[in-house]
Amino acid sequence: MMPMHFDFSGASVLVVGASRAGIGAAIARAFQTAGASVAITGAEPEPAPEDRGRFAYTRLDVTDAGAVRALAEATDRLDILVNCAAITARGEEMAPAFFEHVVNVNLHGTFRMAEAFHPHLKARSGVLINIASMYAMFGSPRNPAYGASKAAVVQLTKSLAIAWAADGIRVNAVAPGFVVTEQSARSRTDPAHVAAVNLRTPMGRWGQAEDIAGPVLFLASPAAGFMTGACLPIDGGYSIA
């Protein structure tokens, strides 16, 4: 991983959805390397093998309002909350029940976490970062619930940024492009899709989970102290080509 010159010594960070060695885990590791005390959550019973013992871990379903509230009540202090939990299933999201479930995890889950931890962030003049997606901007015929949920996450980011600015909380988002993780594993079994992404991306490759961590640390840092309500694309130029 590229060295990053951020110092989060003394900061408490919670990364929600960091159990699968994907983007959340890369963000959690980067904050820890920069000196923060980092806790993570995930839907799995345990984090990925390489992260076991490295972070305090809570198994958390973000659709369970009671569990979200219980975690907030059990948390003394939080400076930075990163909402990374999300699901999608290419080709399955026209089924109404699954559509609702995807929106429940990706959008309502993001709001549930933000609302539950609002007092913590207010007490510390903290930072909230939501993980959106390039599909917030583009139509996604095979992932309609995912696209709708991520567009709503961008809008929610703006609304919370305004609502909580007076509390000293900054709220921003990032919109990753195509990234090699478990979530994209199914779509990456289609060689034509993999090649088409490489061809269209000006930087000529898929992103790696670590590519997303740097901009997240930047947004959480004092260097971004006058930024709120923004959504940074991190896509190798895919969305401008």
Q: Which of 43, 67, 194, 230 binds ligand NAD (CB under 6 A)?
A: 43
State yes or no: is 146 an active-site residue: yes
Q: Which of 28, 29, 34, 42 binds ligand NAD (CB under 6 A)?
A: 42
Q: Is 72 among the residues that bind ligand NAD (CB under 6 A)?
A: no
Give the residue with the Cβ less far from ligand NAD, 103 or 123: 103
Q: Is 178 among the residues that bind ligand NAD (CB under 6 A)?
A: yes
Q: Is 143 among the residues that bind ligand NAD (CB under 6 A)?
A: no
Q: Is 151 among the residues that bind ligand NAD (CB under 6 A)?
A: no
Among the listed residues 57, 135, 146, 238, the single catalytic one is 146
Instruction: Provide the minimum distance between the beta carbon of 154 and ligand NAD in the complex, in angstroms, as a whole number.
Output: 12
**Reading across the β-sheet that carries 127-131, which strands appear in turn?**
56-59, 37-42, 12-16, 80-83, 127-131, 170-176, 231-234
Residue carrying the six token digits 């993980």: 131
Q: Is 182 among the residues that bind ligand NAD (CB under 6 A)?
A: yes
Q: Which of 33, 58, 63, 198 binds ligand NAD (CB under 6 A)?
A: 63
Q: Is 210 among the residues that bind ligand NAD (CB under 6 A)?
A: no
What 3-state class would DSSP assign to 132? coil
Taking the C-alpha atoms of residue 102 and residue 154, their distance in angstroms, rounded to an integer, is: 16
Taking the C-alpha atoms of residue 1 and residue 237, their distance in angstroms, rounded to an integer, is: 21
**In this structure, what is the dihedral angle of CA atoms 95, 101, 106, 110, given to the nearest 10 degrees?**
150
- Looking at 79-232, list the stretches that DSSP marks H as alpha helix, in order from N- to C-terminal side: 96-103, 109-124, 144-165, 191-200, 209-220
Q: Which residues are catalytic, by number?
A: 146
